[in-house]
Amino acid sequence: MQNLKVIFEDNHIIVVEKLPNIPSQSDKTGDVDMLTLVKQYIKEKYNKPGNVYLGLVHRLDRPVGGIMIFAKTSKAASRLSEQVRDKVFKKKYLAVVDGKVDNKKRYFRRLFI
């Protein structure tokens, strides 16, 4: 299992750092994903038999690195999902740019590579 950087954990949520180029959840590539990594971490740390519940509250695009919050209970998943829907839960992005940026532009369009 890859090293997982846990930033915060309690009985309800776990906050981890997602490195760039790791999918948030499984996809057709079969590459290791954050949801699986965090489930495996919980399974090993708490010696849990069987399946581990973990709610995926939000995603980050594969090329993006950053902080992800997962729900460890269905109640936490429901409450966090409601915060995402109600736009209480906010994501902020910091872009690293190579070259000059036009100071007059305030918004950038997301490009898919």
Q: Which residues are catalytic?
A: 61
Distance separating alpha carbons of residues 61 and 112, to the nearest angstrom: 9
Asked if residue 38 lies in contact with residue 3, where contact means CB atoms within 8 angstroms, the answer is: no
Distance separating alpha carbons of residues 55 and 96, to the nearest angstrom: 30
Give the C-alpha distances (Å, rounded to integers) separating 36 from 6, 26, 53, 70, 90: 14, 8, 11, 11, 24
